[in-house]
């Protein structure tokens, strides 16, 4: 049973868990999300890094997804550069993005596989940019974004005309191959989709429902939730 805690407390809990992963395995491969949900967690990671002198130099960072049709400032690469890589002084050679690496899954596997991947969830049940419907067998692939996803991301763009409609994303198999998964969901508007995804049937129309198949999934919410 997850008891209601503040978004800030939950974000700090996740930051502590991510840093623990690095402490235990300094050369961990991390899958990192974008969007609103993880911003507070990234702030706590920066603060804890300063306080605990965390060494990120051996870690490898993998963006979950990336737009195919947007400019640099709106890209998820830029989001991670400004919120994570720059502040933590991560070497560019340790930062990977599905747009810049031709065979993303092969690159991840050749480096030992993902150790920890942090996910948010879209209100239509997408994880990374695996939009409904997505095959359980999918690896990294290109997608057309749904109208609901484009609407949700509209605020990050100056006008509706330039909201991207295409992306590349880690697939379901890519995500399920991660040894640890953390799923974060903040706000009552995410409770219903989280309930459907984790308590309902596994369904290609709710890609987050595939997470039920993972043996090491940790869920962090700022509302009461129980599986």
Contacts of 89 (CB under 8 A, 6+ apart): 56
Question: Do the Cβ atoms of 64 and 117 come closer than 8 Å?
Answer: yes
Told to check if 128 binds ligand GLP by CB under 6 A, we report yes
List Cβ neighbours of 177 (8 Å cut-off, separation of 6 or more): 108, 109, 113, 114
175 strand-pairing partners: none
126 has catalytic annotation: yes
Verify binding: residue 166, ligand GLP, rule CB under 6 A: no
Phi, psi of 25 (to 5 degrees): -140, 85
The answer to whether residue 210 forms part of the interface with ligand GLP (CB under 6 A) is no
Which residues, numbered 133-152, are part of the site for ligand GLP (CB under 6 A)? 149
Q: Which distant-in-sequence residues (6+ apart) come within 8 Å of 30 by Cβ?
A: 18, 21, 59, 60, 61, 62, 114, 115, 116, 117, 118
- Mark whether 40 is an active-site residue: no
Identity of the residue, 25 or 217, whose beta carbon is nearer to ligand GLP in the bound complex: 217
Decide: is 222 part of the binding site for ligand GLP (CB under 6 A).
no
Tell whether residue 70 is a contact of ligand GLP (CB under 6 A): no
Q: Is 115 a catalytic residue?
A: no
* Closest by CA position to 108, among listed 16, 173, 24: 173
Q: Which of 83, 97, 124, 153 is catalytic?
A: 124
The reply on whether position 79 binds ligand GLP by CB under 6 A is no
Phi–psi pair at 71, nearest 5 degrees: -90, 175
The residue whose Cβ lies closest to ligand GLP is 120
Rounded least distance, CB 121 to ligand GLP, Å:
6
Site string for ligand GLP, 15-54 (x = CB under 6 A): ------------------xxxxx-----------------
What is the binding site for ligand GLP (CB under 6 A)? 33-37, 64-65, 120-122, 128-129, 149, 153
Catalogue the active-site residues. Answer: 65, 124, 126, 131
């Amino acid at each position: 049973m997850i008891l209601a805690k503040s978004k800030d407390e939950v974000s700090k809990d996740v930051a502590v868990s991510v840093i623990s992963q690095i402490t235990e395995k300094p050369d961990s491969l991390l899958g990192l999300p974008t969007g609103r949900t993880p911003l507070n967690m990234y702030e706590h990671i920066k603060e804890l890094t300063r306080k605990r002198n965390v060494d990120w130099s051996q870690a490898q960072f993998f963006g979950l997804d990336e737009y195919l049709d947007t400019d640099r400032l709106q890209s998820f690469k830029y989001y991670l550069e400004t919120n994570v890589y720059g502040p933590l002084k991560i070497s560019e050679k340790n930062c990977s993005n599905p747009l810049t690496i031709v065979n993303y899954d092969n690159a991840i596997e050749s480096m030992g596989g993902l150790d920890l991947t942090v996910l948010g969830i879209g209100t239509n049940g997408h994880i990374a940019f695996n939009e409904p419907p997505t095959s359980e067998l999918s690896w990294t692939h290109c997608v057309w974004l749904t109208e609901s996803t484009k609407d949700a991301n509209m605020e990050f763009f100056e006008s509706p005309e330039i909201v991207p409609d295409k992306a590349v994303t880690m697939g379901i198999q890519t995500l399920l191959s991660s040894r640890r998964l953390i799923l974060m969901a903040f706000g009552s508007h995410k409770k219903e989709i989280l309930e459907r995804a984790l308590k309902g049937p596994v369904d290609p129309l709710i890609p987050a429902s595939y997470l039920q198949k993972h043996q090491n999934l940790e869920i962090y919410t700022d509302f009461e939730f129980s599986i």
